[in-house]
Chain A
Amino acid sequence: MNLPEWLKVSVPALTPERGVKEPGFIKKNLEEIASLMRWMMDTEESAGRRGLLQTFDPRARILGILFLVVATAVTGNTIGFVSIMIIILLLSYLSSVGITDMVGRVLPSFVFTGVMVLPALLSIVTPGTHILTIMIGTKEIGITYEGLRTAGTLLVRVTMMVSLVALLLLTTRQADLFTGLRGLPVPAFLVTALFMAFRYIFILLRMAEDVNLARRSRTIDHGLLRDTQGWFASRIAFFVERSMKMAEDISMAMCSRGFTGEIKGMDMDGMKRRDYLWLGGTSFVFFIILGLY
């Protein structure tokens, strides 16, 4: 093979270092999103610990947590909130769920909800008794007691509901979660679609990381922002195409094994006494809260 002359020349010795550049926004964002998602969804370790919730049948676990979530959604008084908060803390302790695991999963929704409810504090959204007044020109805007109460209630409610769901996810292996859903009157196709979305997002995420790494291995500068944005847009198009191809292949793989539109599964074993006790307890809390409401 005849190589061109330039290909035969080695790169000269390294030049002295001229400072280290910050990584680009795509690299930072992709890596952080990927690692955050992996951490949030990796619940195998906590689900494998010995604890109270882990001993229940997945169906009972899902249903019981659902009762508590609905109870949180309907409660409007302090006693209700405090009672459910105590239940959450007790369940976390008895199920060996660490505070870091819980806080890490609840914090993003807490911050997001906090930002969303901020306008509700202001008198222009929730009129009422001012506890703090700000003058903007000739206009008076204040933070009202009613606004604070409304925003606070929503924030606490959402945080508690997310805590309950985090508790369920942290004490249930992914496979058990989907098996449990299948055992409940949830359409089988919906469970499979949920599972697949969950499963294939990781494959696409890995692909996105590889694509970014491949680009980094061939570039020495971030380049113009416009070029980077152009490249990013072209990769999004590439991923749409790859996702569609993958969806088509998965559909073929399912058809090849006899799938005709309705997924047939095995009946699960019956629930045990402890599962019924747990369901009785959580439904009792639900009805008490409903009564208080």
Chain B
Amino acid sequence: MTREIYRLEGVSYSYGRYPALRDVDLVVEEGESIAILGANGSGKSTLLKLLDGLIFPTEGTLLAFGRPVTEENLSGGFLAEFRKRIGFVFHEPDVQLFCPTVFDELSFGPLQLDLPVEEVKKRVSDLMGMLGLHSLRDRPPYTLSSGEKKKVALASVLTVNPDVLLMDEPTNGLDPRTQVWLFELIEALRGFNKTFIIATHDLSLVEDLTDRVVLLDEAHRVVADGDTVDILRDKDLLLRTNIIHEHPHRHGDVVHIHSHGPYAGHDEHE
């Protein structure tokens, strides 16, 4: 039987008088791989921050592992349990890499969570080997390339071995080779019952790596929640929520209008 990870009931969040999320209902179960899809400013990052207990709902209830995620709850013993189980890969690696060296960066999380030093060293060494980071061990993270920074940011979260991985635009700014590497890593981790919640508008990632899509519209509401294939096939819904667009396209001498997105084959216009 699968375990319930998150339950959101009527969750809203506002930045002052600007709403970022409105009336969100969502249940996430263990082992699911979910894409949070939405146009820029639809509230994807805010939703991830709520799920990581970094901000708290202004309205509604958020439960994680059956317990309410509130400021009071996350100041006690539940905090360490919560942080051990949930990892967040931020959109901007520069924000996430704040330690003097790559080694310090990878060991930061497990050390804060009181893991034994020998275990921390082993985890860091294993991950460096797995991700090919040994040569970067003593480098300051800000001297790394964008792809390397992204790898280190991901590794710094993986050293805690969280059950749930929240990822904000993980493929943003990555070259094709690093994107493939990331896809393979996520695919490998999915085999071990990890739960992925990925905020993105990279539809190739959604199509390849997720089974479920939660779609936010520009009014910051969940407008669809269902099977990835079903949602990606619903062209009208994707157009309405500004996930795909239609524009003139040239094929040799022929110019026609069609949408850009998954399952939007040219043949439908012929």
Proximity string of chain B (85-129) to chain A, C-beta cutoff 8 Å, 1 when within and 0 when not? 001101010111011110010011101111001001100000000
In this assembly, does B29 line the interface, its C-beta being within 8 Å of a C-beta of chain A?
no
* Known A175-B140, A202-B142, A266-B120: A257·B109 in contact at CB below 8 Å: yes
In this assembly, does A116 line the interface, its C-beta being within 8 Å of a C-beta of chain B?
no
In this assembly, does B8 line the interface, its C-beta being within 8 Å of a C-beta of chain A?
no
- Chain A, 81-112, CB within 8 A of any chain B CB: none
- Chain B, 138-187, CB within 8 A of any chain A CB: 138-140, 142, 156-157, 160
* Known A175-B140, A250-B98, A266-B117: A256·B112 in contact at CB below 8 Å: no
Chain A's closest residue to B82 (CB) is A258
How many chain A residues touch the partner (CB < 8 A)? 28
Alpha-carbon gap, A178 to B141, bound state (A): 14
Chain B's closest residue to A252 (CB) is B54
Give the residues in chain A near B111, CB-CB below 8 Å.
Answer: 264-266
Give the residues in chain A near B49, CB-CB below 8 Å.
Answer: 252
Give the residues in chain B near A227, CB-CB below 8 Å.
Answer: none
By the criterion CB–CB under 8 Å, are A256 and B83 in contact?
A: yes
Give the residues in chain B near A175, CB-CB below 8 Å.
Answer: 100-101, 104, 138-140
Proximity string of chain A (255-290) to chain B, C-beta cutoff 8 Å, 1 when within and 0 when not? 111111001111100000000000000000000000
By the criterion CB–CB under 8 Å, are A267 and B100 in contact?
A: no
By the criterion CB–CB under 8 Å, are B140 and A257 in contact?
A: no
Chain B's closest residue to A178 (CB) is B100
In this assembly, does B217 line the interface, its C-beta being within 8 Å of a C-beta of chain A?
no
Chain A's closest residue to B103 (CB) is A175
By the criterion CB–CB under 8 Å, are A253 and B79 in contact?
A: no
Give the residues in chain B near A263, CB-CB below 8 Å.
Answer: 112
- Chain A, 218-259, CB within 8 A of any chain B CB: 246, 249-250, 252-259
Q: What is the CB-to-nearest-CB distance from A267 to chain B, in angstroms, rounded to a whole number?
A: 7
In this assembly, does B80 line the interface, its C-beta being within 8 Å of a C-beta of chain A?
yes
Chain B's closest residue to A249 (CB) is B95
**Which among A179, A195, A246, A260 is the interface contact of B112 at CB below 8 angstroms?**
A260
Chain B's closest residue to A256 (CB) is B88
Proximity string of chain B (37-78) to chain A, C-beta cutoff 8 Å, 1 when within and 0 when not? 000000000000100101000000000000000000000000
By the criterion CB–CB under 8 Å, are B95 and A258 in contact?
A: no
Give the residues in chain A near B99, CB-CB below 8 Å.
Answer: 195
Alpha-carbon gap, A78 to B112, bound state (A): 51
Chain B's closest residue to A257 (CB) is B109
Give the residues in chain B near A179, CB-CB below 8 Å.
Answer: 100-101, 104
By the criterion CB–CB under 8 Å, are B90 and A249 in contact?
A: yes
- Interface bin, chain B: 35 or more
Chain A's closest residue to B94 (CB) is A203
Q: What is the CB-to-nearest-CB distance from A109 to chain B, in angstroms, rounded to a whole number?
A: 25
Alpha-carbon gap, A198 to B84, bound state (A): 30
In this assembly, does A199 line the interface, its C-beta being within 8 Å of a C-beta of chain B?
yes
**Which among B96, B109, B117 is the interface contact of A258 at CB below 8 angstroms?**
B109
Query: Considering residues A175, A203, A246, A258, which has the most beta carbons from chain B within 10 angstroms of its beta carbon?
Result: A258
Alpha-carbon gap, A196 to B101, bound state (A): 12
In this assembly, does A153 line the interface, its C-beta being within 8 Å of a C-beta of chain B?
no
Give the residues in chain A near B107, CB-CB below 8 Å.
Answer: 266
By the criterion CB–CB under 8 Å, are A256 and B52 in contact?
A: yes
Q: What is the CB-to-nearest-CB distance from B142 to chain A, in angstroms, rounded to a whole number?
A: 6
**Which among A173, A203, A246, A255 is the interface contact of B54 at CB below 8 angstroms?**
A255
Q: What is the CB-to-nearest-CB distance from B96 to chain A, in angstroms, rounded to a whole number?
A: 5
Give the residues in chain A near B90, CB-CB below 8 Å.
Answer: 249, 252-253, 256
* Known A175-B138, A199-B142, A249-B90: A258·B113 in contact at CB below 8 Å: yes
In this assembly, does A113 line the interface, its C-beta being within 8 Å of a C-beta of chain B?
no
**Which among A173, A250, A267 is the interface contact of B117 at CB below 8 angstroms?**
A267
By the criterion CB–CB under 8 Å, are B112 and A257 in contact?
A: yes
* Known A175-B101, A175-B140, A266-B111: A257·B94 in contact at CB below 8 Å: no
Give the residues in chain A near B52, CB-CB below 8 Å.
Answer: 256
Alpha-carbon gap, A209 to B237, bound state (A): 41
Chain A's closest residue to B96 (CB) is A253
By the criterion CB–CB under 8 Å, are B156 and A257 in contact?
A: yes
By the criterion CB–CB under 8 Å, are B112 and A259 in contact?
A: yes
Alpha-carbon gap, A202 to B90, bound state (A): 20
A contacts, CB < 8 Å to B: 173-175, 178-179, 192, 195-196, 199, 202-203, 246, 249-250, 252-260, 263-267
**Can you report 7 A-B residue pairs in the complex whose CB atoms are below 8 A from each other?**
A175-B101, A178-B100, A179-B104, A202-B142, A250-B98, A258-B83, A259-B108
